[in-house]
Copies of this chain bind each other. A is one copy, B any other.
Amino acid sequence: MTNQTSGTSRPRRSAKPTIADVAALAGVSVSAVSKVVNGRSGISAPTRQRVLDAADKLRWSPSVTAVALRGARTRAIGMVAGRSSDLLATDPHFTVLISGIERELAPADYGLLLHIVGEEPGAEERAYRRLAAERRVDGVILTESRIDDPRFELLRQLRLPAVLVGVPWQADPVVSVQAAGQEAGVRAAVRHLVELGHREIAYVSGPEDRVHTVFRRRIFESTLAGLGLRPGPVLISDFSAQGAVAATEELLAAPAERRPTAVLFANDTMAVAAMNAARRLGFEVPRDLSVIGYDDLPLGEWVYPRLTTIGQDLFRLGQATAAKMFRLLDPALAVAEPPPLRPPELVVRESTGPATPL
């Protein structure tokens, strides 16, 4: 009765049930159970039902660990965020993206394994190497495409399936996800400002090694050129609020005739920080300075004045990315086609207004 001898029989103590317990309870073999849970053929209806009942009763579901070891999927996707936590805290960009990814992963019973590494050189590479060596994930999602991104080669070498969120640089050998017509947003923003009479328009960009940053700056310049205008000052900043404040101070310190009357920022957080900095310097938005952000985060709705921004649906972008990953790993995983991506578009609110003549 109180025996605990080896594999004698079924009365397990109280540990987690295994496939063997289910098989025993259903009175079938383990392989029968396996076939049922994996939807393989060659199982009679009554048997299937008995297995299902047993599994249900025992609250059993296959151990991902064992399945993974067996060579199949780990049912996890990795993501390495190489940003300082401070930046992460300021800019919800990532959070929204991750939420979108999750929304797609969850129904497929996939998890997201997150690694937030600092910006120390090598930290990111180490994280990917470990993910691969330990066979922890089926693939990784990359964000913030970089020019000549070293991660692509690394991942190829590591044989880790990867999907990039956003704009690839040249013919980068990694699957990427983005809406067509990326240039629409910045283009519309510039036109909007020009229509409002602005002639001296500044651009505050993120670090120059980021693809999207460079890409957008080029659109900015070419749109202006197409309108026969010359671009105002272009400042390279980081993505931080402090960076935006510093840039704003610099821009507004210029003599009035060279001072920009409008600024485009690389993200909403920077734009909002800039509005506040401007006000602190005695400039009123949008009367003295028009400001445009990027991303259309909820933030923009409740600041004062409400932020005019270039909207992209990051949540949906996350979804699409995860879906692409599924298609890459195993088309059977991609249940439903996610909603299509829309190009970024200008959301006009209150932070832009007519240029005030000097």
Contacts and interface: CB of A to CB of B under 8 A. Distances in A.
A211 interface: no
A279 interface: yes
B113 A76 contact: yes
A241 interface: yes
A245 B85 contact: no
A302 B241 contact: yes
A16 B279 CA distance: 58
Interface in A275-328: 275-277, 279-280, 297-299, 301-304, 315
A159 to B, nearest CB: 8
A231 to B, nearest CB: 26
Given A88-B95, A89-B92, A98-B114, A60 B302 contact: no
A85 B89 CA distance: 15
Interface stretch (A62-70, A174-182, A195-203, A249-257): A62-70
Contacts of A16: 132-133, 135, 159
A106 interface: yes
A280 to B, nearest CB: 6
Contacts of A130: 61, 109
Give the number of times this chain occurs in the complex, counting copies: 2
Nearest to A295: B89
Given A74-B65, A98-B116, A89 B245 contact: no
A230 to B, nearest CB: 31
Contacts of A69: 63, 65-66, 69
Contacts of A95: 85, 88-89, 92, 94-95
B112 A113 contact: yes
Nearest to A71: B65
A203 B228 CA distance: 55
A117 interface: yes
A59 B94 CA distance: 31
B297 A276 contact: no
Q: Which of A109, A111, A304 has the most CB of B within 10 A?
A: A111
Interface of A: 16, 59-66, 68-69, 74-76, 85-86, 88-90, 92, 94-96, 98-100, 102-103, 106, 109, 111-117, 127, 129-130, 132-136, 159, 241-242, 245, 272-273, 275-277, 279-280, 297-299, 301-304, 315
Closest 7 CB pairs of A and B: A85-B99, A276-B304, A102-B116, A64-B134, A61-B133, A65-B68, A273-B302
